[in-house]
A and B are shown apart, each in its own frame.
Chain A
Amino acid sequence: KAGVTQTPRYLIKTRGQQVTLSCSPISGHRSVSWYQQTPGQGLQFLFEYFSETQRNKGNFPGRFSGRQFSNSRSEMNVSTLELGDSALYLCASRPGLAAGELFFGEGSRLTVL
């Protein structure tokens, strides 16, 4: 079974630009969560999607947004990039909304110059 796939793996942007990151969950998984990992703040929850609906949202500004498609694939978008948005963005999936293990992808490393 293929794991969680995130694209692109690495990208470099400049301040003010926007970026879209993609996540394909494990086949059959319908819940997708996004996390930001930085050396200073550690791992922080961004949002979770299930059945194309946002179910939970972390404490991030409105520049961070996401969506989920009918095939459970998810994208997150960051607009008007700031230097502080440089981070590893991790996607995780799980079968449904009940308690269970989160399966993480390898992440998309964003550098903002």
Chain B
Amino acid sequence: GDSVTQMEGPVTLSEEAFLTINCTYTATGYPSLFWYVQYPGESLQLLLKATKADDKGSNKGFEATYRKETTSFHLEKGSVQVSDSAVYFCALSAAGGTSYGKLTFGQGTILTVHP
């Protein structure tokens, strides 16, 4: 079945450092890929998405590129801020049909950014 593997956390960075959170997936066809974020005390919210190979999703300075050849969707940000401290989840939804409401999530990566 479908699966998502995220890098083990937690990740601790200083403000303005470069961030990479690795995400690889296993799925048939061309799934849609997502990064969701859960800020302290808040619900999960979509950070960015990509629906086809080579698409780049971006939002709030975060970027991720859908790499079909390496089945990856790594999250990057050039300069993190304290306010980026949160839990980040990589997820996929299977290609086509009525599967879009079914997300397969990675384990989540806790990011802590210090001033």
- Taking CB atoms, residues of chain B closer than 8 Å to A105 are 43
Q: B99 touching A56 by the CB < 8 A rule?
A: yes
Q: Sort chain A's interface into a size bin.
A: 20 to 34
What residue in chain A is nearest B105 (Cβ atoms)? A43
Is the CB–CB distance between B44 and A42 below 8 Å?
A: no
Do the beta carbons of B98 and A58 come within 8 Å of each other? no
Residue from the list B36, B51, B105, B106 in contact with A99, Cβ < 8 A: B51
Distance between B96 CB and nearest chain A CB, rounded to angstroms: 9
Collect the chain A residues with CB atoms within 8 Å of residue B104's CB.
Answer: 45
Chain B residue numbers with a CB within 8 Å of A107 are 43
Check A99–B32 contact: CB distance below 8 A.
yes
B89, CB-defined interface residue at 8 Å = yes
Asked whether any CB of chain B lies closer than 8 Å to the CB of A100, the reply is yes
A-B pairs under 8 A by CB, number: 60
| Interface residue count on the B side (C-beta < 8 Å) | 23
For the complex, give the distance between the alpha carbons of A58 and B105 in Å: 13
Q: Which of A58-109 contact B (CB under 8 A)?
A: 58, 90, 92, 94, 97-107
In the complex, A104→B46 CA distance in Å? 9
Contacts A42-B106, A101-B46, A106-B43: A55 and B98 contacting too (C-beta < 8 A)? yes
A39 to B49 CA separation, bound complex (whole angstroms) = 25
Contact code string B92-103 (vs A, CB < 8 Å = 1, else 0): 010000111111
Known: A43-B108, A106-B42, A106-B43. 6 other contacts (CB 8 A): A33-B101, A43-B103, A56-B98, A56-B99, A56-B101, A102-B46
| Interface of A toward B, CB cutoff 8 Å | 3-4, 31, 33, 35, 42-45, 48, 50, 55-56, 58, 90, 92, 94, 97-107
The residues of B with any CB-CB pair to A shorter than 8 Å are 32, 36, 42-46, 49, 51, 89, 91, 93, 98-108
